[in-house]
Amino acid sequence: MEERSAIVTKGVSLWYNDFRALDSVSIFIPAFSIMAIIGPSGCGKSSFLRCLNRMNDLIDGAKVTGSIKIFGEEVLSTSCDVVELRRRVGMVFQKSNPFPKTVFENVAFGLKLKGIRDREFLLYKVEKSLRMAGLWDEIKDRLNHSALDLSGGQQQRLCIARALAVDPSVLLMDEPASALDPKSTAKIEELILELKKTVTIIIVTHNLQQAKRISDHCAFFLDGRCEEFGPTAKIFGQPDKQSTSDYVFGKFG
């Protein structure tokens, strides 16, 4: 199991100053699959996600210990190139956050950061990413319109396309559909299922039905610890721990 995993974490703990947000989390996440992280609010789901691309570095007073290996490379070591890491590990946020620029500029942002200027190539990549995000047919005539003119669901898919444009091997999604209506949510879920052919996806979700619908594996977090992880069918069928069963069968949360 561990050998075929895209991501392996060992004893990952996270402190915000004196507050311990994560307490030795050790899990593996298999490649080309969807791992859902579930748990009640404040259990550390999002914090854990942010450890994987070191977004916690941006917060004053945050400190991570333990080991995170993504395709065999240690993420937490000082020799890790954070910029390179974040290109390989894309992220989509809870609230869609397109830049107030054109659709094209949004998708091309990460490529331009790499210093790519060739217009033909940029156009090719923008089209490809928008196609992957299932957005191309809807907005191919509006590449030069402001991204803020798109609907909420389209904005979120644009953010996904923006993350895909730099060819990440892992995609982190932090409750990507929680602010969307059911129809847009369905589209996003469809998209996620399609994407697992090319990237490994870790999705934090509050919605148990969603986790059940789309994920291959599931991890249940409680109070900063990972209580249990395994195949989704098992977590939602016969979980090992009482707390997991209480949560997935709706006793709390």
Cα(172)–Cα(49) distance, rounded to whole angstroms?
7
- The site map against another protein for 68-107 (x = CB under 8 A) is ---------------xxxxx--xx-x-x-xxxxxx-xx--
We find the least distance from the C-beta atom of residue 7 to another protein, in angstroms, to be 17
What amino acid occupies position 169? S
We find the least distance from the C-beta atom of residue 87 to another protein, in angstroms, to be 4
Which residue in 17, 42, 65, 113 binds another protein (CB under 8 A)? 113
Cα(129)–Cα(161) distance, rounded to whole angstroms?
5
Residue 120 has what DSSP assignment?
Answer: H
Cα(184)–Cα(179) distance, rounded to whole angstroms?
10
Site for another protein in 135-174 (CB under 8 A): 144-148, 159, 162-163, 166
User: 82-85 long-range contacts, Cβ below 8 Å, gap at least 24?
Assistant: 82/54, 82/57, 85/53, 85/54
Which residue in 39, 44, 110, 134 binds another protein (CB under 8 A)? 110
User: If binding is defined by CB under 8 A, does position 115 make contact with another protein?
Assistant: yes
Token pair 């299922």: residue = 193
Asked if residues 194 and 171 have their Cβ atoms less than 8 Å apart, the reply is no
Residues that bind another protein (CB under 8 A): 53, 55, 58, 60, 83-87, 90-91, 93, 95, 97-102, 104-105, 109-110, 112-115, 144-148, 159, 162-163, 166
